[in-house]
Structure 1
C-alpha cells in the first residue's frame, strides 16, 4: 500500500511561497464576527502572519492573490467522512476488492472534498491503513486533499454494525479486520491497538446501523461497562471517542459513558439529549447522509433489509438536531460523505438551516465548533495570526445565505493553493 502512495503523481498543488498576500474583498475571520470588509492577509510558510483592513495593492510578496471580488473565510471542517468509500454498489464487493483500492478511491475523493472548500476532515471508518496513508499523502503534499484525522476501522460488537456480516461464517471470519470486542478488558485492548496503529480518534458503533446487513433494528450494542472501558482507555491515551449511534437509549448510554461525540443521533429523545447536554457530548447530525441514501431507494442499490431501515429513518431527519439546538447541545458539522458522493458536503448547511439553525450557527458548526471537537481550536476554524492558512473564497455572504458555501471558488490548505 505504501508503495502505491509513493507512485502517485502530484495533483494540482502549488507549493507555499515564502510569503503570499491575499487581497480579500470581504473578510469573515470568525463565524461569530461580522464581515470586516476589504482586508489584506499575509501568509508565510503555511501560517497566517497578519491581517490588516483595506486592500493593499502595493504589497510586494512573492505571490499576490487577488480575491477582491470575493468573500474570504476560514476553511470548512467536516468531522464525519469516509474518504475511501463511494455510495451504493453491492455490499459483497468488500470481499473481492483489495484494501489498496481504497487508497485509489480516497485520492479521488480527497481532491473532490478539498475543492468543495473542506480543508480539514475527520475520517471515521476505513479499512486497515487506507485513511492513514491518505493522511500522510495530504500532509506531505504528495496528493491533493484536506488535512485528515483518521480513526481507522471502527470498534464494534461481534455481529453488530461495523462487524463483517452478510457472508458465510468462513468468509466473515476471513474479512474480519480484528476490531470487534466483548467485555471491558478486550475493548480496552482494542483501543490500545487502534492507538498503536496510528488512530487520531477512536470510532465505535454504539448502536445498530442503517446500511449494515443486519435486520435487528437500531438499538444499543455495547454494554455500559464496555463503553466506559473504551472511553477511559482512549482518554488516558489522549484520544477522543466518536460513537455511531441512532437509537435513543444507545445515544443516552454512550453520552453517560463519556463519549465525546454522537454521530447521527437520529432518534435522540429528550432524555438522551439531556444527558448529552450534561456531559458536554457533541452531536454530529449527518443530515445529508439520509438525503444521499434516499436517492438510491427502489433502484436496486440496497438490499431489502437495508431499504426497510432507510425508510424507517427518513421522517426523523433533522428532528434530533433541532432538539439538540434547543437544549444547547454543541453541534459539530459532519456529513457521512461516502454514503453519498463526495464533494456535495456543503449541502449539509442548507439542511441544518432548514432544521432550525441560523446560517451563522451552521457556519460556526463547521469552523469554530468543529475545531473545538477536534481539539484544534488554536490552529484551525478562524482566520487569525498564527493559525494554519486554511482559507476559502465564495460569492455572497454565507452568514446570511448558507447556500453560498455550495460554490467555493478558491481554496488554500496549509498555505498551499489548490489549482
Structure 2
C-alpha cells in the first residue's frame, strides 16, 4: 500500500527553493517517487491520499544541541544532583516527544548523565515509544577546573552528573573506551577551563597534546568528537586535533579558523541561550546581576568571530542548546534559525538546508533521512506558512500541522511546557533574597496558620501524613 502526499510547496532540503504543486509517494516507510503532482502515479486500490495542497512540506528539523536529560534545569544542581537517573530517563522521553511535536525528527544530545540518552535512543529505535531519532553522547570529559567540574573540589564530579572528571591522559583514554563500550555515538570534551584575559575569554581545559590524544583514540574507535568551547585557546586546540564540531566557538581567532578549515571542522554556534538570557532574564533571577552582561559581551564577540569563520568557508551547523529553564523543550529551538539569520547574516534558505540536510552528516544513520527524495526515509513536517519567506513561522508550534516519521503520521498527546518537579528532585533554592529587617519592611506578612497554605503546601503535608 502506498501513501500519496500532495504538497502545496515541497522543500527537499537540497535546494534553496521550494517547488509548487508537488507530490511524495511513500511505500514501506520510504519515499519511492517525487515530482510534479500532475505526473504522480495514479492511486491504486488500498492506496491512501493525503491532501496538503495549501501547505508547505519539508524534511523534519534536526537539532545538534539538545540536552534531553536536563529537565529545563535552572541550576547545575538541577542538571546533576536532585533527580534520580531513573527519573531523568523517564523525564527525557517527555522532553523528546515535545521536541518531536515541534517538528524535530532528529536530535543530537551531546552530554547526559549516566546512560540516560543512549538508553532512550535505543527504546525509541526499537519502536517502544514514538520519538525523534537520537544520536547520543555520554558524560562530557572534563579536566580539573573545566566545565562540568563546577562543584567544590571536595565534591568533584558526582557519578550521576553530566561530567566525567579525568585527571590524566590515561584516565581520559580509559573513559573514552568505557563510553564506547556502552554504546555512545559521540564523545564530548569540555575544552573551556578557568577565566583568562578579555581577549582569550577562557583558558583551555586540556593541553594540545591531551586533546589530540583523546580525539585520536575516539576516532580510532569510530566515534565522532564534539566539544564545548567558547574561548580562543580551547577552540584552537580542538580544531588542530580534528574534532567534528565546535559548539559556540565565540572567541575563535584567525589561527583557530585556519586550523578548523584545514581539518574539516564544523561550528555549531548555539546562540539561543545567550540571546534568550539577554532578552528575558528578570531582576529576581539569581544570576541577573552578572550573567546577562557576560552574555552580551560574548554575543558581540561571536557576531564578529563566527562571521569571520563563515566567510573563511568553515561549515556551519545548527543546534539550540535546548534543555535549560531559559530554553525549554519544544518552545524556542527554531529561534536559533532566526538568530543565525539576524546575527550572523546567513540566508534563510541556507539555514533551513542546515537544519534539514547539513546537520544529518553528524547524526546516526543521518544519510537515511537527510532529504525528501526517492530512497530516503519519509520523515517530514507540514507547515501552515512558508519558512523560506518567514523563518519565524517554525517557532509557532500551531503552524506545524503534521509530523511524519517513516511514512506514518505521528499523533502524540500534549505534554506540559513546565515539566513538573517533585519536591524530592527540585534543587532547594528556598529564597531569592536575604530577608533582613529592612527588606522585610517592604512586604506584607503572609497569614499564619493553616488557612494561608497554598495547594502545593497542602499536598506535601498530606503526603507526609500518609
Instruction: Flag whether TM exceeds 0.5 (same fold).
Output: yes
Are 1:345 and 2:329 matched, yes or no?
A: no
1:27 corresponds to which of 7, 10, 16: 10
2:407 corresponds to which of 398, 403, 415: 415
Decide whether aligned partners of structure 1 residues 176 and 135 sit closer, same or farther in structure 2, where only a CA change above 3 A counts: closer
**Could you list the per-position Cα deviations for residues 291-330 of structure 1 after superposition, in whole angstroms to 9, with x for gaps in the alignment?**
2333335332549775664454243343333222211110
Are 1:131 and 2:117 matched, yes or no?
A: yes
Q: Distance in 2 between matches of 1:217 and 1:248?
A: 7
**Could you list the per-position Cα deviations for residues 37-75 of structure 1 after superposition, in whole angstroms to 9, with x for gaps in the alignment?**
212212222211211311559524543222111111111
Equivalent residues in 2 for 1:164-183, closer than 5 Å: 165-167=150-152, 169-170=154-155, 172-173=157-158, 175=160, 179-183=164-168
1:36 corresponds to which of 19, 30, 46: 19
Identify the structure with bigger relative contact order (alpha carbons < 8 Å, sequence gap 6+).
1
CA contact (8 A) 1:185 1:229 kept: no
Equivalent residues in 2 for 1:384-403, closer than 5 Å: 384-403=373-392
Decide whether aligned partners of structure 1 residues 304 and 199 sit closer, same or farther in structure 2, where only a CA change above 3 A counts: farther
What is the aligned partner in structure 2 of residue 9 from structure 1? Answer: none
What is the aligned partner in structure 1 of residue 311 from structure 2? Answer: 326
CA contact (8 A) 2:71 2:92 kept: no
- The 3-state SS of whatever aligns with 1:50 is strand
5+ residue gaps, structure 2, are 412-466
Moved more, 29-38 or 312-321: 312-321
Q: Distance in 1 between matches of 2:173 and 2:75?
A: 33
Are 1:187 and 2:172 matched, yes or no?
A: yes
Quote the offset at 1:84 in angstroms.
Answer: 1.5
CA contact (8 A) 1:255 1:281 kept: yes
Are 1:239 and 2:223 matched, yes or no?
A: yes
CA contact (8 A) 1:37 1:54 kept: no
**Could you list the per-position Cα deviations for residues 232-264 of structure 1 after superposition, in whole angstroms to 9, with x for gaps in the alignment?**
111111111001100011101100011111011
Moved more, 100-109 or 167-176: 167-176
Decide whether aligned partners of structure 1 residues 80 and 49 sit closer, same or farther in structure 2, where only a CA change above 3 A counts: same
What is the aligned length?
396
Q: Distance in 1 between matches of 2:268 and 2:49?
A: 37
- The 3-state SS of whatever aligns with 2:252 is coil
CA contact (8 A) 1:149 1:200 kept: yes
What is the aligned partner in structure 2 of residue 4 from structure 1? Answer: none
- The 3-state SS of whatever aligns with 2:5 is strand
Moved more, 37-46 or 121-130: 37-46
- The 3-state SS of whatever aligns with 1:166 is coil
- The 3-state SS of whatever aligns with 1:43 is strand
Quote the offset at 1:27 in angstroms.
Answer: 1.0
CA contact (8 A) 1:76 1:381 kept: no
Instruction: Give TM-score scaled by structure 1 length.
Output: 0.87
Are 1:109 and 2:95 matched, yes or no?
A: yes
Q: Distance in 1 between matches of 2:74 and 2:4?
A: 45
- The 3-state SS of whatever aligns with 1:81 is coil
Q: Distance in 2 between matches of 1:286 and 1:382?
A: 23
Q: Distance in 2 between matches of 1:152 and 1:357?
A: 32
Q: Distance in 2 between matches of 1:46 and 1:249?
A: 46
CA contact (8 A) 1:234 1:241 kept: yes
CA contact (8 A) 2:192 2:230 kept: yes
CA contact (8 A) 1:23 1:40 kept: yes
**Looking at CA atoms only, which structure, 1 or 2, has the larger radius of gyration?**
2
Quote the offset at 1:377 in angstroms.
Answer: 5.2
CA contact (8 A) 1:20 1:43 kept: yes
- The 3-state SS of whatever aligns with 1:361 is helix
**Could you list the per-position Cα deviations for residues 110-132 of structure 1 after superposition, in whole angstroms to 9, with x for gaps in the alignment?**
11111111110100111111111
Decide whether aligned partners of structure 1 residues 173 and 332 sit closer, same or farther in structure 2, where only a CA change above 3 A counts: closer
